[in-house]
Each structure stands twice: as C-alpha cells, then as structure tokens.
Structure 1
C-alpha cells in the first residue's frame, strides 16, 4: 500500500493490523500492570489515515469520526497533539481515520492508527524525533503502539513494549471478528485468568512449543459468539485468539490454502484472508513518499 496525495491536499497512509501468535501472562508488577510475553505479527490489512497539514496550529478530526469515540479521546488525535507538544511544532493537521479494522477485536487498529500519525507527522512536520522517542510517546497512548511505530514483527515482553525483532515464515491467515467486545480491564480482573505462565524464550516459540492465548478460555466462557467462531474455525485448522479482543484466526502456509479454508466457512462469519508481512506497509510507504 503506497502513500498518495490527492487533489485536496490529503496524504494517505497505511495503519496495518496485527495478530498475537501467542499470548501469556507471566506475572504482575508492583504498579498493577501485568507482565506479558507474546509475538506480534503484522498484516497487509488495516486502516487508512488521511493527513492534511494546517497552518493555524489546530489538530482536528474530519470525516464521520469513530462511532462512540469523542474527538478528544481518539487515539489518532491524541497522538498528533502529543507529538505537537513534545516537539514544539507550530503547524497543525486535519486527520481522517478510514476504519477497516473492527474496534475491540484484538487486531490493534486504534494503536496502529496512533502509530501511523506519530511516524508520518514526525516526517511531515519535520519534528525530528528518533524512533525510540516516538515509541516512548506511543507507549503513553497504549502498550501496542510501539510495535507499530517500529514496524517489524517482534517478540514482546513487559506490557508489550520491550521488543525484539523476529523473523517469521511467510503465512496467510483466515481472520474473523465475532462482533463482541469485553473491556480489557474486565478480562484482566477475571478470577479464571492464568497469570503465572512460566517464562519462555524465543527458542520455545520457534520450536512450536509456545501456543495459546491466556484470554481464550475466559472469552470462550463469557462470550458464546467467540466460542462459536473458534469452533467453526477449528473445522479448517488450529483456531486461535488474538490479543485480549474477540478476533480469531487460523494460520496457513499458502494463500491458496487460506482461500480454500475460508470458502468452507459460512458467509455469515464474514471471514477475510490477510497476509503476514515481514515489515509494516507504513515503512514501505514512507520510503516511496
């Protein structure tokens, strides 16, 4: 997906979705946050962000906005305002978030939107922040934002911010969002949530011994729609949950196999096929801009 500038002065940028190929909780910190281990996989599917610079210094959201999200709470708007303050930028920007990634599905849509705004406006405004500084700003917006800022598949620890790039084999995914959302704090507070998974290493993941998502049994019990989707996907492969959301997926080693798997599913599931990518489409767009 390439960046482009239209006749009205908008430049358009990709904000890719992600999958968590596994997700464990290994403990809880003194500040109440949980320690995680996971692998982030970036996809070729995602939102689009439109940006148009303003000379009056204002940061404004345009278009229809996000359903139920006030402009001041929109992560993309908050990212722009945070960068403007941190870098002491005089310019402003209009922002359009063209949503394709469903909210609450565990695909990182809002976090990716924020990361795209940070990375691109840093370039367009000439703010001059390096990747580490942008990732630190992103972490203030959400634990998933840094991986999108850095733009590479990663082994992650901490709350998800300690990242180590990881090389993953080419893969395609049948992805389904059941259309339900349980607030993350409720999931973390669930008494049945496993919070003491043993510490693992990248080698464990590479060997195939690291599987599962600690939120899956909790969501299966709380949400019949998640249970139903995972059961349906199990007919075409190993069904998994991503993040703490309700999104489910099955991995395939070829696009043809993924398409064949999707064709076996009921059309009511609204399944899609997405390709895993070696690095974020946003980095490619920046190089080509």
Structure 2
C-alpha cells in the first residue's frame, strides 16, 4: 500500500523570543501560516521492518538525521509497528531556508503513517509526537494559521490572512537556526513584534494591518551575519511588496502582495540577482485530509 502526503511550507508573520527556559530551549510566541509551496511525501509500507528514505534533493540527509526518518522511527518504537516503510521526499521547499521544510516533511510522515499503519491517532496525539522531533513539527502537523507558543507545541488556531500572493526569495546560502539563536543570546534586540496587533488584524481580515504588524525578532541578528538578506528585503520593498519580512531564522524573505500583476513584476525584478524566487498563494486553513 502507498500513500502520498502534501507537506506545505510555512512563513512567520510574527516571531518573538520571550526568554530562555530552564530546559535550555527558548520560549517563543509566533504567528505562522501555510503557503502553497510544498514537498510531496510518498510512503510505501514494506514487509521488512526497517525505515528507508530517499530524497530528490542531494542537500537532504537520507538517514536518521532526517526528521521524516525520525518521525517514522518514533511511530514504530512507540506503537510496536512491525512493518517498515520506504519514504520518498519529492523536495520543492528550499533547504535551511526558514520555511520549515524538514519539519513539514516529518509532520506529513506522521500523518501518512498514521493512516498507512491504521494507528488511529488523533491530531492532538500527532502534535504531541511532533514535539519530540522538532519545534516546528507540531505546527506543521496542524498547519493552517495559528498562534504558536512555548517551544512550538502550544497551538491556537486563528483566522487566516485574506487571499493574497506571497513572493519568496532565498539567497544561495542557508542559515543555521542554532547559530542564529546563539548570536541572539549575545544581543538585546529591540524589534519585538506586536503579536496582539497581528492576531487582531487577522481576525478582522485587515490586509494593511497584517502588513503593518509583520515582525521577527531574529531578523536583525541574521541580517548582521548575512547582509544579502537585507539587500533582498530592500529590493522587495523597492519593487512594491506591501509587507516584507524574513521568515523564521532566515534566510528566505517573503513579500505579501495583493495584485497578481504586481507580484509578477516583483518576481521578475528579483530574478535579476536571486535565483531562488517563488510566487505562491496562502493556503488558509488547510484541510487535514492531506493524504492520497
């Protein structure tokens, strides 16, 4: 039996780091939403008990370092699953880009194997399992638009942004999330976003308010180490994006644009000096039945 699962990328409309916790992790407060840029995860149940994985991208680890591999191994261990699985990741989301590609692959693996192996787990149970794999995995299991707190395990669904275009631009280099957080601890950033204002703008469907409330406390840290990110941000604003922000720990920058024609002009302008440029839509509240 084979199942395919959509694994959509996310963007951070806000990202705030409140403090460092006693367990060594950071207490986060973020507003995240899914976009229509996605990997596809193919899952084939096998008679052999092993987990095997391959990816169409050479930049993705194809062993236990891969979050999707770890998701499958976690299910097998926790629920004494006898069959194995062969996982194929059809990679479309850029790697190390601040778009939660690896976390979304893991979430899709949890969702798909829950169905493939007839485990009968609830969405909340899958979210709890996801928290054992990585901070973004619980959100990626849930997807849609949510206010995310704690390490990433506390989720509150909220209204999705009104329909608009999202232009994404990623520099050639990736960014290490661990490195960004390490540098963050050495500074005292003063660019914390107004999360309440963002939630209110989303609830009201206020596109201008959403653009005005975009904020990422990690942005200044990444921009200092990777000036290219700042140049992309400036260019996106110059070309007419109505709201511009770096997603996650970077380096991908996104721009929110209402009109398709303007979005296409921005894409054309950015392609002059940035190879990885995408133009996608918001996904809104994602249908949880993502398997085929």
TM-score, normalised by the number of residues in structure 2? 0.87
Aligned structure 1 segments of 4 or more residues deviating by more than 4 angstroms? 63-66, 195-200, 202-205
- The Cα of 1:63 is off from its aligned counterpart by 5.2
The counterpart of 2:229, out of the listed 216, 226, 230, is: 226
The answer for unaligned runs of 5 or more in structure 1 is 1-8
Determine the structure 1 residue equivalent to 2:189: 194
Q: State the distance in 2 between where 1:104 and 1:32 align.
A: 22
The answer for unaligned runs of 5 or more in structure 2 is 202-208
Q: Is residue 2:53 matched to residue 1:61? A: yes
SS of 1:141's equivalent in the other structure is: coil
Residue correspondence of structure 1 range 83-162 to structure 2 within 5 A: 83-162=75-154
The counterpart of 1:275, out of the listed 260, 281, 291, is: 281
Given that 1:25 and 1:196 are in contact with CA atoms closer than 8 Å, whether structure 2 keeps it comes out as no
- The Cα of 1:183 is off from its aligned counterpart by 1.7
The counterpart of 1:217, out of the listed 215, 220, 230, is: 220
Residues 284 and 69 of structure 1: CA distance in aligned 2, closer, same or farther (over 3 Å)? same
Determine the structure 2 residue equivalent to 1:255: 260
- The Cα of 1:157 is off from its aligned counterpart by 1.2
Q: State the distance in 1 between where 2:189 and 2:2 align.
A: 46
Residues 173 and 142 of structure 1: CA distance in aligned 2, closer, same or farther (over 3 Å)? same
Q: State the distance in 1 between where 2:151 and 2:76 align.
A: 26
Residues 227 and 195 of structure 1: CA distance in aligned 2, closer, same or farther (over 3 Å)? closer
1:47-85 deviations in whole A, cap 9, x for unaligned?
111111102222111355643625111111111110111
Determine the structure 1 residue equivalent to 2:178: 185
Residues 122 and 66 of structure 1: CA distance in aligned 2, closer, same or farther (over 3 Å)? farther
1:245-272 deviations in whole A, cap 9, x for unaligned?
2010100124343223223333442321
- The Cα of 1:279 is off from its aligned counterpart by 2.6
Q: State the distance in 1 between where 2:58 and 2:71 align.
A: 15
Determine the structure 1 residue equivalent to 2:6: 14
Q: Is residue 2:271 matched to residue 1:266? A: yes
Given that 1:26 and 1:196 are in contact with CA atoms closer than 8 Å, whether structure 2 keeps it comes out as no
